[in-house]
Homo-oligomer: A and B are copies of this chain.
């Protein structure tokens, strides 16, 4: 990592220079770009930038009224920030000139570095070396830089939004700085934004910390393709998200980008899952798409988190009510019950034959005396303590302004007066744009593009609220474990060049308190015979060989051996099968293990992610593991509460609870096993992947039957 990052004071200073420079030098502006519609100068003018602007271009003569200099050295005073958009071969020279001129911050617009080819990567590495050797920080390369409405500044040559909104954007593209006004839904956009580009120096986490300190920023939006410093991001995000919601989209989660992995945990915990676990850990709200990123960001800037998930629906259309119920149920929200007082007050406005309930079709109540009735109904719902949020479904007619149906103002005003109860609107009709603008102009309520997005947004607002209200997590549990012994086994295996640990893996798990089905290794038929009488049957046999990864595929397993007589026979059969199916495999011995009791099979695993460290996985065990996509993920180390959450997230949890009158499986034993694995991989970062599959969970305990560790 960049050495400068550790120096807090210097860092903060650099981001100040990048986001609100008092003066800038633009290096590489062509003659054509000076008056072009697509130009940083055009944008600076549109922003009303008040600082000094020096244009550096050796081939341009000084223009009337413009400060044009042949080189940075010719600029009479030191400037705060250089914006560099030269051809890639000239960039390093310009940056060295910055150092020479005492410029401490630069934005490198130019692309074609690590984003392109080997030569580009080499040039970028030189750039990094420069920032380490000198007092120079770089944003980019391959970026349009920043925009800061609060300082009337942008480095972008593409037009970007400029509104003093309390939203800070961090993206790995200029995309998110250009298009946040999806069709009339004002206010949208941001107050500050940064495109980190290739992030050769200043990175996402550093900007996150910067926004964390900026009073003008209340909500932070992140578009993430990759992160360099995973653990630093987690620490910053966890701290900042307790006061400022962070909404994040992880892009690039498709299978094509997945790295090859050896274990089931590795296959299950793909990049998307690991990022999701990271967001969960840090209290970051995950968006599923660019569209949802935009909606969530706007919603978190508009609404305070609700107290709960009980929704009241008021509508002009019965059909819309039914659509709303479907959306509410699908998002895991519930329909509120009106209090008696609400019910009585509503009843006065409706005909007798119309049943009053939630959802509420308000047509009959309000069509007569709209301006009195519509706000009265809405206020009754907002004042009802059993209602946590209100869905307003409204037909936005293109009627003249004097028409009676101007509910937007009522919605806006009442939403402002009851800020703890979000009012989420959905509308249909020819004046949707007009209605939307009217509702949203105060920033107290929003019109959502679909009922489903209103419902899922509300669910995420409520979850964020619950998380903020919750106590900070307790200290991590510390289980009794023989850390030293496990370390020695790992060290020995590494020395021997072993990567797949089978019996060593079992020993390591035992060192961490793992409850294994009793096992011994027979290295010869003699050893087997000598232990035959001490075993409690039935037992099973498993081949021990560093060359056999999938034991069952190689005939290296024998189950249900009932007596000493068939033990030897099975042993011989196993060795013969392995010799035939995995010729040349070095067999170190045969593991003899007591058959596990009947129970529910789960799998517990871990995979070391290069960015975030170990990600724990819990899922159904046995053959179902690989087929049914039913897993829970958390980054290690986990608390006991997180272990319980993991179990609760599985569909398989219903099987653990016992179906058709079965006794429930012993969940505390699963929690214990999860915490043991969490501690094990945290203590021993050499472990790349770990699979316990199955862990057999009975009514009373849980037994590890098979496991392996990959270094």
Contacts and interface: CB of A to CB of B under 8 A. Distances in A.
Interface stretch (A48-56, A78-86, A396-404, A560-568): A396-404
A662 to B, nearest CB: 8
Contact of A659 (B318, B450, B627, B652): B627
Nearest to A172: B319
A580 to B, nearest CB: 14
A624 interface: yes
Contacts of A290: 323, 450-451
Nearest to A174: B317
A120 interface: yes
A588 interface: no
Nearest to A255: B329
A540 interface: no
A179 B427 contact: yes
A501 to B, nearest CB: 20
Interface in A362-412: 395-400, 403
A129 interface: no
Contacts of A120: 353
A326 B257 CA distance: 10
Given A181-B432, A319-B225, A353-B117, A395 B329 contact: no
A116 B350 CA distance: 13
A111 B181 CA distance: 40
Interface in A417-464: 427-430, 432-433, 436, 449-452
Contact of A430 (B161, B427, B550, B628): B161
Contact of A320 (B175, B320, B626, B661): B175
Contacts of A291: 449-452
Given A449-B449, A452-B289, A432 B183 contact: yes
A319 B251 CA distance: 8
B37 A430 contact: no
A253 B184 CA distance: 32
Contacts of A428: 175, 178-180
B626 A628 contact: no
A555 B309 CA distance: 42
A607 interface: no
A290 B330 CA distance: 14
Interface string A101-120: 00000000000100111011
A428 B428 CA distance: 23
Interface in A551-579: 552-553
Nearest to A292: B450
Interface string A86-112: 000000000000000000000000001
A652 B624 CA distance: 9
A651 B225 CA distance: 30
Contacts of A289: 323, 327, 450-452
Contacts of A400: 37
A254 B451 CA distance: 14
A433 B183 contact: yes
A583 interface: no
A599 to B, nearest CB: 13
A159 interface: yes
Interface in A642-663: 651-652, 654-655, 659-662
B430 A326 contact: no
Given A254-B325, A652-B627, A184 B433 contact: yes
Contact of A398 (B116, B159, B225, B317): B159
Given A289-B327, A630-B628, A430 B178 contact: yes
Nearest to A653: B627
B254 A661 contact: no
Interface in A317-349: 317-320, 322-323, 325-330
Contact of A325 (B252, B427, B659): B252
A213 interface: no
A254 B119 CA distance: 58
A434 to B, nearest CB: 10
A536 to B, nearest CB: 21
A354 interface: yes
A529 interface: no
A451 B251 CA distance: 12
B399 A319 contact: no
Given A320-B173, A323-B290, A452-B289, A116 B182 contact: no
A317 B175 contact: yes
A660 B178 contact: no
A322 to B, nearest CB: 5
A496 interface: no
B395 A322 contact: no
A629 interface: yes
A330 B175 contact: no
What 7 pairs between A and B have smallest CB-CB spacing? Answer: A179-B428, A173-B319, A291-B450, A183-B183, A254-B329, A179-B429, A627-B654
27 contacts: A38-B403, A116-B354, A161-B430, A171-B319, A175-B317, A175-B395, A176-B319, A178-B395, A179-B430, A179-B432, A183-B183, A183-B433, A225-B319, A251-B319, A252-B322, A252-B326, A254-B326, A289-B451, A289-B452, A291-B451, A550-B661, A553-B661, A623-B659, A623-B662, A626-B654, A628-B651, A628-B652
